[in-house]
Amino acid sequence: MANNHFDVNPTTLPAWQELTKHASLLKEKRIETLFAENKLRNSNFSIKHKGFLLDYSKNLVTEEVLLSLFSLADQALLKDHTAAFFAGEKINTSEKKSAVHMALRGHKKDNYRSEGELIYGQIAYSLSKVKDISSKVRNGTWLGSTGRAITDVIHIGVGGSDLGPRMACQALRAHAHESINIHFISNADGSEILATIKTLDPETTLVIIASKSFSTLETMLNADTTMRWLQKSLGLKNPQSSTHVIAVTANKQKAASYGIDPSRTLEFEEWVGGRFSLWSSVGLSVSIYIGHDNFTHMLDGAREMDIHFNTAPYEHNLPVMLALISIWNNNFLNAHTCAVIPYCERLSLFPAYLQQLEMESNGKSVSLNNESLEYATSPIIWGKTGSDAQHAFFQLLHQGSHFVPVNFIGFINDKTSNKKHHDFLLGNLIAQSSALMIGRSNEELPMYQKQPGNNPSNTLLIDELTPSSFGALIALYEHKTFIQGSIWNINSFDQWGVELGKKMTENLLDTNKSLEFIDTSAQYLSLYIKEHTSS
């Protein structure tokens, strides 16, 4: 499909002009007033779908705004772009790739294709290898070089090859194997990998090296350190060829040249973007930790959200509504930052995950037609779990000078907690969303105690945190990100902005190169470090 097939500048669309007028008229309106004007606002401005409730009533939106947002989606060709997305067409235009990660959780009857070719067979084969290895590690039949069963797994990756599996294991720790521990290493800071291996028994440790290219600097640095540890501890000449090491990559040749046996290399496809790779072989550590049946439930939950997004009308569509409300706040109410507050400690990594998902995907300023944009794209995503966040930065949300929409996320039932704790937690969620909207303006109060209120928020309530609902939650935000990128007329599936820093680091570390290629400040800092490095 031609690169400019979906090239629609949203600011030229009639709906964009309508929304600009709506924003001007609503500028002085209070959200509370909208509730007073519509007694059914709670039910009219919420969506229920299979254990999910999205309440978006505490936003500065009206029926007229919603209709214009739906028109914007249509005029920006969202339905056509979605059809191409699910058909496996090359919507990643700069790299000429499809981005059909939904196929990783699809069933055979879904008939997913990439560039016209059916891909279920290769995905099913990869998942069968994940299941086989996971089962052997969990039941104690995957043995190390000395014949002992695995008790610890080190997952080495970075970015999408780390954050997704790390978050999933933390979120679903209630389903963890009773005697297998997972350790995630991503940062190039050597203290992390050195401190980790110091506590482990090499005879019972399995190392998973997850890298799409199998050349990512941080990952290979940590992998090399771990291989030296195995070599020294176990007396293995080539530990990477032993049963202590598994590769997960799209570059099987590179893994083989590193010395990893092809039988212990799990592949995933080039069209799987790193931040969408949780559902692929990259999820091996998750399958080991929570069991493959639960991993499959996670995939099925995500698939259910895929079907919902692809079939539900806009007004009943969870990802569409989340995306459109975000565009309204970002592009028309000038809220260029968004806080995400899960009231569940097991989702403490969720804000960080969304930072990569949304800001790496939509942190772009160039259109599909390779032209500079004159409108905002991805807002800055940040957050922390409640109720800790209330004692950290909620002061700014309530009384600061920045306009920050908030996404509250909560689980109605929690078998891992007790009623007293959980009631307190959900009570805080509801109270904070209410306080942000209502504020406090009693005339008798001193100015420093007053709170303006009128801060918008969404509340997403989910019946319970299970593998299935977790999968659905992640897929919900994946599709939200795609929808926003589609309407903003950008490519959500490349990340060229990451490459320059990588290249400069390589050059800086190359001892054969002079420092003349870098700026004078960088030269100064580099020389200062050399002069003050202890021998």
- CA gap 503, 193 in Å, rounded: 24
96: alpha, beta or left, given left = phi > 0 and alpha = psi -120 to 50? left
Q: Which residues of the chain fall short of a pLDDT of 50?
A: 1-3
Residue at token pair 């929808």? 483
User: Which contiguous run of DSSP H or E holds residue 408?
Assistant: strand 406-413
What's the pLDDT tens digit per position in 418-475?
999 999 999 999 999 999 999 998 878 999 999 999 999 999 999 999 999 999 999 9
- CA gap 61, 64 in Å, rounded: 8
The beta strands (E) that lie in 147-197 are given as 152-156, 181-185
The residues annotated with a catalytic role in the active site are 360, 391, 502
Tokens of 229: 């540890």
User: Tell me, what's the pLDDT at 8?
Assistant: 95
What's the pLDDT tens digit per position in 492-521?
999 999 888 878 888 788 777 777 778 889
User: Tell me, what's the pLDDT at 2?
Assistant: 39
User: Tell me, what's the pLDDT at 4?
Assistant: 56
Q: 54: which strand partners?
A: 47, 460
User: Tell me, what's the pLDDT at 506?
Assistant: 81
- CA gap 476, 473 in Å, rounded: 5
User: Tell me, what's the pLDDT at 504?
Assistant: 82
**Residue-level length of the chain:** 535
Would you give the distance in Å from CA 251 to the centre of its chain? 23
Amino acid present at 100: V
Tokens of 492: 């959500």
DSSP string computed for 456-525: -EEEEEEEE--HHHHHHHHHHHHHHHHHHHHHHT--TT--GGGHHHHHHHHHHH-TTS-GGGS-HHHHHH
User: Tell me, what's the pLDDT at 1?
Assistant: 37
